Structure formats: structure tokens, C-alpha cells
Amino acid sequence: MSTTIKALALALCGWLALLALGMFIPGAAPAAMVIGPSHRLLDHLPQARIVETGQATITLSGVNAAQIYRAGAWLVLPARLPLCVDR
């Protein structure tokens, strides 16, 4: 594998890790996108509100990252972030 591909893979993994760790900062994101949720995830999160669903994701609000991980999620990323520039 070339060093360029290794560097890109490392950068991507680092970026995802920063996003995932950022979810533990209170108020960091208005919602959380769960990658590859189990079918029973919401059974363990009765207070969660579904914002959006996709083929391999579900976006939730009303719960924090620790609660989602305890419910069985393997990757939680920030979602519905406000834009940095006014329109």
C-alpha cells in the first residue's frame, strides 16, 4: 500500500475519531447519527426522538452519546450541526 493511501486512511480514521469523541461534549450537536444501528436500539432508548432514518443510519435527538453507546450502538457521530456561515 502506498504511503499516500496510508496517510489518507489515517486522516480519515482520525477525523472520524474526533467526531465520535466530540459527541461526549455536552451540547456539541443537536442530534446524533448512529451508523449501523441494531433493530433493538430504540427499545433501550424510549426517550429518544427519531429525526431521520436512512438505509444504514438513524438520526436521534433527546439522548446523549453515552446513552446511545450503552444501548448498543458502535459508532455515533454528530448530526444537524448549525452552519458556520449565515445565509
Distance CA(79)–CA(63), nearest Å, equals 13
* pTM attached to this predicted model: 0.81
For the chain, which residues make up each domain, given as ranges? 3-79
pLDDT of 65-77, one tens digit each? Answer: 999 999 999 999 9
Q: Per-residue pLDDT tens for 2-50?
A: 899 999 999 999 999 988 998 888 888 899 999 999 989 999 999 999 9
What dihedral do alpha carbons 24, 26, 27, 29 form, nearest 10°? 0
**For residues 34 and 41, is the Cβ–Cβ distance under 8 A?**
yes
- Arch. (CATH architecture) of 3-79: 2-Layer Sandwich (3.30)
pLDDT band at 86 (very low <50, low <70, confident <90, very high): very low
Q: Inform me whether the pLDDT recorded for 57 exceeds 80.
A: yes
**DSSP 3-state of 60:** strand
Residue from 46, 26, 23, 27 nearest 35 by CA: 23
Predicted local confidence at residue 13, as pLDDT: 93
Please tell me the predicted confidence (pLDDT) of residue 83. Answer: 61
